[in-house]
Structures are given as C-alpha cells and as structure tokens.
Amino acid sequence: MNPQCARCGKVVYPTEKVNCLDKYWHKGCFHCEVCKMALNMNNYKGYEKKPYCNALLLEGLEGYWDQYVPSGLMQPSLLE
C-alpha cells in the first residue's frame, strides 16, 4: 500500500517518494512553501510539518517571512 502525497494527495510510489516531516511527498511536490524552490532531504527546513528552503529561512527573510507567514508564528531563527 503506497502512501499519499502530503502536497497533491496522489499516491506516492517508492521511486518518487520523499519521506520527510512525518509525511510522504513526491520529489516534485517537495518544494518550499513560499518560493516553490525544489528541495531535498539535505536542504529543506521543516516548520509546522511544511518544508521551506534554507535561503528563505536563513537569509534576508525578515520581509519575506512577514509577508508570507501569518503573524504570531515563531520567527525562523527559532526553528530546528
């Protein structure tokens, strides 16, 4: 039995599976929530079970974060 993709809801087959954040994703569906950059197991940052890119979380993202993430959430510097 194959799991469903956390992004698109379609079945994920083993060849295209990414197991991250307690969910399964198609490789193509595992991208940054904000900028849509493709991610992999080595460069993603998880936050509230969603993947974000390093660039977004570590660099110049103050405006970015305020703009895209609802207020009241932790600042990215507190992640990990």
- List interacting residues with Zn ion (CB under 5 A): 5, 7-8, 26, 29, 32, 34-35, 37, 53, 56
What gap in Å lies between CA 56 and CA 36, rounded to an integer?
11
- Residue 71 CB, nearest distance to Zn ion (Å)? 19
- Residue 29 CB, nearest distance to Zn ion (Å)? 3
Nearer to Zn ion, 5 or 69 (CB): 5
Nearer to Zn ion, 36 or 78 (CB): 36
Residue 22 Cα distances to 47, 54, 59, 60, 66, angstroms: 12, 19, 26, 28, 26
Residue with tokens 């956390």: 6
